[in-house]
Amino acid sequence: MKERIHTTSTKNFREEWIDFIHELQNKICESLEAVDGSAKFKEDVWQRKAGGGGKTRVIANGNVFEKGGVNTSVVHGELSRKMREVLHIPLSSESTKWFACGLSLVLHPINPFVPTVHCNYRYFELTDKEGNVTDCWFGGGTDLTPYYLFEEDAKHFHQTYKNVCHGFDEKFYPLFKKTCDDYFVNTHRNDERRGIGGIFYDHRKPDENNDLNFWFNFSKACGNAFVDAYVPIVEKRINVLFNESNKYWQEIRRGRYVEFNLVHDKGTLFGLKTNGRTESILMSLPPTVRFEYDYQPLKGTPEADLLEVCLRPRDWT
């Protein structure tokens, strides 16, 4: 990239985005504590030797949440060989430093009728020796991983993000829904998805249609929609009675979640291989998990129905 990126007006996207994710972290944690009714988030504030740090907030053994985390991090550093490789930045590029700042959450409920959820919204910047921004982009997404399918929950979740997307561009929801379906895939299991998806977008930079401020506002809107997208589903399913066999199935599916995160998820692998904070990255892993040889749900059961929508994503809205 030859020219310096001119962002709109004098807005400082770094600082405004940092403020936003910290406010969002507070808002989300408050909502989740309220719906849990028992457990409280515990915060670990950490520093990164090579630059920056984060606030990891974990919740465990609650009424609703067996394990979960709502993390923010604001990190930066020199562009290492590994980093250039992953971000496809040639050595000839004038960029010498990177900056990343985002919110990331995963929640694993106890009750198998309450879905697991993940979301992540981030802002990335490259700068040259003088500190000028040479490249910058927003990315993120939210996806739902139910263990049992309630169509109305799937519809509610997708409709919430469709509404957000439509406020910006009617092409976004179908595009970002498909990107999500194509991303959270266990390719080693006949392209089984880890759940019923949501939205996902990445590398959204200023272009002829939209400036950086547009993507900033879009990402804020997506982040702000999380509580409305997820909490009503929790409230609806929290008191559904479950038995040991429901829990067994949940743990089998959690195994697939582990497989996706450790084998395929670019964010997880990037973090683990570039000296990220392991405990904050792996807070995404479920609390208890089962791996069974060649486990297959019986045909016609609710478990088989769930598997079916993971193998063949549906249009929910």
The smaller minimum CB distance to a second copy, of residues 10 and 190, is found at: 190
User: Measured between alpha carbons, how far is 188 from 66 in angstroms, rounded to an integer?
Assistant: 28
Least Cβ distance, residue 263 to a second copy (angstroms): 5
Least Cβ distance, residue 103 to a second copy (angstroms): 17
CB 105 within 8 A of CB 71: yes
- Reduced to 3 states (helix: H, G, I; strand: E, B; else coil), residue 299 is coil
Least Cβ distance, residue 260 to a second copy (angstroms): 10
CB 69 within 8 A of CB 280: yes
DSSP state of 56: E
Residue ranges in contact with a second copy by CB under 8 A? 44, 58, 60, 67, 69, 187-189, 251, 255, 258-259, 262-263, 269, 272-273, 278-279, 282-283, 285-294
88 catalytic? Reply is: no
Q: Tokens in use for 119? A: 């979301």
Which contacts qualify for 237-243: CB closer than 8 Å, 24 or more apart?
Answer: 237/111, 237/113, 237/114, 237/115, 237/150, 237/153, 238/35, 238/64, 238/111, 238/114, 240/111, 240/113, 240/114, 242/111, 242/112, 242/113
- The burial of 32, by beta-carbon neighbours within 10 Å (0-12 exposed, 13-18 middle, 19 or more buried), is given as buried
Which listed residue (108, 118, 156, 158) is catalytic?
Answer: 118
Least Cβ distance, residue 269 to a second copy (angstroms): 7
The smaller minimum CB distance to a second copy, of residues 154 and 281, is found at: 281
The smaller minimum CB distance to a second copy, of residues 27 and 189, is found at: 189
Q: Tokens in use for 240? A: 């559904």
The smaller minimum CB distance to a second copy, of residues 158 and 277, is found at: 277
The smaller minimum CB distance to a second copy, of residues 18 and 269, is found at: 269
Least Cβ distance, residue 254 to a second copy (angstroms): 9
Terminal CA-CA length for the chain: 39
Residue 97: what are its φ and ψ, rounded to 5°? -135, 155
Which residues are tagged catalytic?
118
